[in-house]
Amino acid sequence: MKIEKENRSPHILNTSANLLGFCFIVLTSVKISKLTESTFIDEGAALAIIVFMSSCLLSFLAMRSTTSRAIKMERGADILFLFGLIVLFITTILIAFNIIK
């Protein structure tokens, strides 16, 4: 049984990099406006930055690799990307429903 690589890495890299930039903008905006009550917002953005940066790194390495580890790296990038989306979703929901004030 031959396992073929689906080559999702370019899509993960592109989208992770875009969301990484968005998280940097959010974090910078919170820091510049000096919102004292926004600790969860900046912590969520910082966590998302770490996760999306890791996803970018793994997807880039998967694209450059020709070994069997490329599939594992792509899968790891995919899982990290999903985790980053969940972090952003939870942060957005908490802000939208005024749970964070």
**What pLDDT was estimated at residue 57?**
94
Q: Domain boundaries in the chain? A: 11-27+35-96
Nearest Cα neighbor of 84 from 37, 46, 40, 52 is 52
Predicted pLDDT at 2: 43
Helices and strands, number each (H, E), in the chain: 3, 0
- Kindly tell me if the per-residue pLDDT of 12 is higher than 80: yes
pLDDT at position 6, please?
65
**Residue 83 near residue 44 (C-beta atoms within 8 A):** no
Residue with tokens 């450059």: 64
Q: What is the mean pLDDT of the chain?
A: 84
